[in-house]
Amino acid sequence: MMTVAREVANTACHNLVADMLYEAHIQANCDYKCRIEKVKTNKGAVQNLRLTREQYMRVIPWWLAGNEQCWDMIIDRWYAEGWVEMHESCRQWRLMMPGAPHHQGNSHLRQYAARWSASHGGEPCPPIKAWALAHKGKATSDVNYNPADPPRSVQPHNCPQSPQ
């Protein structure tokens, strides 16, 4: 069981870092429009905007203040060969998704676990089980955890991984 748990956790961590970089890209686009161009906008309007390297360097996120070299390395990923194609193919995949990538909503994982447990006769729902179930269905649905499920069955998305 530990081998499967490690594999799921490793894949989840990789996806979380990729998601963090994706969000940083959108936030940088939004910050540039708002702070530099003084244009009121939202994330949806700028998610496909592609700024120049110099423009991105003008909107270093607060969590990287004083570490421009790290921000520059993140920007390098967005200009790496194949990144735009991968980004567009993932976007197309997300547009074809029949539903949400997870069913947790804006609740914490503990809240999802409590809701699932309550709707399944008080059955315990530890964090790893709650995480897997949140990617399979709503807490009140008939979804259940099967340790034999492959890691991909509980992944938030199955886009190709970004270039290293």
Task: Check residue 151 and give its pLDDT.
Answer: 55
- DSSP codes of every residue in 137-157: S-TTSS----TTS-GGGG-S-
Q: Report CA-CA distances (Å) from 11 to 17, 27, 55, 153, 156.
A: 10, 24, 32, 12, 10
Is it the case that residue 115 has pLDDT exceeding 80? yes
Q: Would you say residue 133 lies in a domain?
A: yes
Confidence of residue 57 (pLDDT cuts 50, 70, 90): very high
Q: How many CA atoms does the CB half-sphere of 41 hold within 13 Å?
A: 20
Q: Look at residues 146, 138, 136, 144 and name the one whose alpha carbon lies nearest to residue 112.
A: 138
The pTM for the full model equals 0.56
Confidence of residue 8 (pLDDT cuts 50, 70, 90): confident
111: three-class secondary structure by DSSP: helix
Domain end, chosen from 23, 45, 79, is at 79
Confidence of residue 154 (pLDDT cuts 50, 70, 90): very low
Domain that holds residue 144: 102-164
Task: Check residue 97 and give its pLDDT.
Answer: 64
d(CA 99, CA 82): 27
Q: Would you say residue 94 lies in a domain?
A: no
d(CA 154, CA 24): 24
Is it the case that residue 12 has pLDDT exceeding 90? no
Confidence of residue 99 (pLDDT cuts 50, 70, 90): low
Q: Would you say residue 89 lies in a domain?
A: no
Q: Would you say residue 2 lies in a domain?
A: yes
Same domain, 17 and 72: yes
